[in-house]
Each structure stands twice: as structure tokens, then as C-alpha cells.
Amino acid sequence: MDLIRESIRDIPDFPKPGIVFKDITPLLSDPEAFKRVLDLLVERYSGRSLDRIVGIESRGFIFGAALADRLGVGFVPVRKPGKLPYRTVKEEYSLEYGTDAIEIHEDAVPEGGAVLIVDDLLATGGTAAAAVSLVRKIGGEIVEVAFVVELGFLKGREKLPEVPVFSLVNYE
């Protein structure tokens, strides 16, 4: 885990004063660190029955698609409204100031299909909770929600009480 943790850069006061942003771009540019993340995720999910891996826009696409390829499982993107070309299901969720939404194709997961949701970071949990709701709306069963980084002090897991949550690196 040290290699992964050391590959995550702190950016103070981004995107606004008082926030320390956890930047994963150095991890992505380091082939050894990126491979280590994928190796650990493959180790965790190999042998599990999965029908789809759902990646949350946008960095969840990077980890989710690579993991889906390694596991031989289909990949499904969850995107901001208006970005997917086929019929979609939408889920709105609350932000600190206002609301946002994400969408998934209505036929992205087989009925009763086992789904792993992947994203780069768990902060307050709103987007992840919306993704869980979307997958359930279209008939999927959540196996787990996985993150590379968790900001534990923001208590995002509390918005995901009905699903198992896993993170590689947790900042308490």
C-alpha cells in the first residue's frame, strides 16, 4: 500500500480554500503503482461471480474498465446526464449546495446481474449512493462498491449502509 499511497499527491486549496485534493494522476502515470492497484483489485475479485463492472464518471472509468478487462467481465459507464446515447435511467442526488445527477443505460445490466461498482475516490458518498440506486433500478444486485482512495473523515460509507464497501487506501 505504501507505493499506492506515495503515488497520490496532495493539492492544497483545490478546488477551493480549505480542501486538500487527493490527486491520483501521479499514480496513473506510474506504471508500477497503477499495476499494483489493479493487481490488488483483481486479487480481491477473482473467483467472484460478476456480470458487470460499473465505473462512475470519470476516473472510475479508468480503474473499472481495466479491471473488467482483467477479469473478463463487461464494463458499464455511469455518466452525467446527456452523455449516454441510448435510453437511460437517471438518479439525482444532493450536493453540499444543490443537486446533481447521473445516468445509466436502461439495459446495461442483466436482471439479477451481479455488479461491482468502481470509482477512484469515496468522499461524501452521494455519487456512489446514486450509482447503487441506479444499478438497483435496472435490476442489478450490488456485490460491492470499491474505491482506490477513501476520505474516511468525510464518512461517505454512511451513505452506503446496505452494501459492502472496500477501499485500498483510507485517509482518516
Catalytically active residues, by annotation: 59, 96
b (16+ CB within 10 A) / e for 127-160: bbbbbbebbbebebebbbbbbbbbbeeeebbebb
Q: Are 71 and 53 in contact (CB under 8 A)?
A: yes
Q: How far apart are CA 115 and CA 140, in angstroms?
A: 6
In the chain, beta strands by DSSP E: 9-12, 20-23, 52-56, 74-78, 88-95, 98-105, 114-122, 141-151, 165-171
Q: Are 147 and 131 in contact (CB under 8 A)?
A: no
DSSP state of 79: B
- One-letter amino acid at 102 equals I
